[in-house]
Structure 1
Amino acid sequence: MTIRVVVADDQEVVRAAFSVLLQTQPDIEVVATAADGVEAVGRSREQQPDLVLMDVRMPNLDGIEATRLLCAGDPAPKVIMLTTFDLDEYVYNALAAGASGFLLKDVTAQQLFDAVRVVAAGDAMLAPSITRRLIAQFATPRPAPRRTPAELTGRETDVLQLIAEGLSNQEIAVRLVITEETVKSHVSRLLAKLSLRDRTQAAIYAYETGLVARRQGWKR
């Protein structure tokens, strides 16, 4: 199945570079490009892409608001944010708005291809340490809960905490000494129980409720 992509960035060189790279892949098709947030929303609604590569800082309508509008739609495309800086303060807000992850603009071609495929498949870009750092820095944790959320089992809570640390399913399986298929089952169940869309939202939930802070002794 071909992954249909819209590339939105106010820099023409960046738009062109990402578009050309993506078009080299037989399973990825760039169906439109956009120079600002307004165009990104309009082109996406016209083309109904599977995924949007969205720059954070754009004129007329920034990437955060554009992401919020797109993710509130039905159907809603997946969104990967593009940013120049690894500690861009806007990225956390974009994740909270519905983005499934983000990439730095100096990403390698293979990392770009992998990210598009992973997010289009319904996962989130949480593996890079940079993502964990952003969520940890800009999430505002609520007071740590006195007990594990009633909806989750103890094992599901363990998996949630490790998702927030940025571990992949394979890494979680090794850490908890269980199979990768079991991890996938736990992830699916905890997302459903907490009404979360993907792993990015799960990580944000873990930080905001204090689960990760409590486990790691993280302090602001």
Structure 2
Amino acid sequence: MTSDVDARHGRTAGWAYTESFVPEDDVLLRARERAAELGCHAPPPGTGAVLRVMAASLAARAVVEVGTGTGVGSLWLLRGMPADGVLTTIDVELEHQRAAKRAFAEAGIAPGRTRTIPGRPADVLPRLTDGAYDLVLVGADPYAYPEYVEEALRLLRPGGVLAVDGALHEGRVPDPARRDEVTTVVREVGRALRADERVVPALLPSGDGLLLAVRR
């Protein structure tokens, strides 16, 4: 008979196994190192692998990323997109986008496949075209997730997918005793999408939680 301790150990081992199931190459590892040096977020490998699968399954030719960082998430997305797909990626920090462009060059990504836009996502997203995108990845500032998610739903075509990175917020979201501001905001985003009739949602434990929602 399996004990609760054995079951918990099995779940932990299973999570670790899934995170390393699709290994990162040297280009991704260097981009991740730059993220650590600059102190910006990079989607964990398990999250990246799911993003690549989503981009590939959608044959996503038009993708938006909120929070370029050093290009880790961008590379995973681009590797799942068709060769003619274009990634529009937004970040307020020019230094982050310079590091991302370096990663794109190292990966041999053609310049025309990426559109890096510096600026506050809250200012940039409203300028993008309604219903024109296959996939929108929301990362960066968790405090602004409610605003970013609403803009993302406007941008998605029917059948397009919203992905929210960090949806478990360091494992705090499932714990009802955790009521700090960031955890509360992220938790409420999940609840709102779960109740939103415009989408079909699911929450995956990959990385630090990946919240997915398909636009009806």
TM-score using structure 2 length? 0.34
TM-score using structure 1 length? 0.34
Q: Which has the higher contact order (CA 8 A, sep 6+)?
A: 2
Higher fraction of strand: 2
